[in-house]
Amino acid sequence: MSVGEWEALINVVLLGLLLVVTFGIIRLRNLFGVVMLAGIYSLLMAMVFTLLDAVDVAFTEAAVGAGVSTILSLGTLALIDSRREKIPFRFQFTPMLVALVTGAVLLWGMQDMPAVGTADAPNQVHVAPYYIERTPVEIDVPNIVTAVLASYRGFDTLGEVTVIFTAGIGVMMLLSSMPVIGARRRRRRNGDDQENDT
């Protein structure tokens, strides 16, 4: 078997495992277990990305999945009472029908798509040749992904960084201790007469 065939075989096995883990996540009624299975899902996705030669994406998945996503989920679980989440599993017809129809439509639409890695697929002939040809001349960095991300589409990346910035500011405003402590100080300052109420 050639390298490509081996990679295809491993890819199929990985996607099968992904399916198993997904159904496990759906069936599991315990949030902590869901967080753990989501960790496995992230590891599997990193390997699928690696097989698709999208090393930079796999790297992001690896860093986020191994480093922070599980920890932040656990931090959230510590804030909420996760033991109360006993949702009974019951079959619902309409959502199932909608999901099945959507899946069928997507599968039907996939018929027209070119195979993975086809050289003359529309996404390969649009701007990709330009990037591949011009990057050594104009930017001269070995990793073309970095060149596209940081230079050709720098404005787009600026927007992404702004999104992350906004997320950080939002979490700061929602959970930060400053407003709470300020409110408490205010309450204490003018609340001596109301002490009996509390």
Partner 1 sequence: MIEHLVPRILAKLLIPFILLFGLYVQFHGDFGPGGGFQAGVIFAAGIILYALIYGLDRARRVITPGLVAFLVALGLLIYAGVGVATLLLGAEFLNYGALDSHDPVHGQHLGILIIEFGVGTTVAAVMITIFYQFAGRLQITRELESDETDDEDGEEEEMTGSPQ
Partner 2 sequence: MIYGVAALGLLVAMLFAIIRALLGPTLMDRVMAVNMFGTKTVLLLAVLGYLAGRPEFLDLALVYALMNFISIIAVLKYFRYRDLGQSRVRS
Per-residue binder mask for partner 1 (CB under 8 A), 46-75, x = binder: ---------xx-xxx-xxx-xxx--xx--x
Rg of the chain over all Cα atoms, to the nearest angstrom: 25
- Contact of 77 with 32, CB cutoff 8 Å: yes
Cα–Cα distance measured from residue 104 to residue 18, given in angstroms and rounded to the nearest whole number: 19
- Contact of 116 with 52, CB cutoff 8 Å: yes
Per-residue binder mask for partner 1 (CB under 8 A), 86-125, x = binder: ----------------------------------------
Binders of partner 2 among residues 65 to 124 (CB under 8 A) are 66-67, 70-71, 74-75, 77-78
Structure tokens belonging to residue 168: 């950080």
Per-residue binder mask for partner 1 (CB under 8 A), 144-163, x = binder: -xxx-xxx--xx-xx--xx-
> ∠ at Cα 8 (61, 40), nearest 5°?
35
144 binds, among partner 1, partner 2, none (CB under 5 to 8 A by kind): none
Binders of partner 1 among residues 125 to 144 (CB under 8 A) are 137-143
Q: What is the largest CA-CA distance in the chain?
A: 84
- Contact of 148 with 128, CB cutoff 8 Å: no
Residues lying near partner 2 in the complex (CB under 8 A): 1, 3, 6-7, 9-10, 13-14, 17, 20-21, 24, 30, 32-33, 36-37, 39-40, 43, 46-47, 50-51, 53, 55, 58-59, 62-63, 66-67, 70-71, 74-75, 77-78
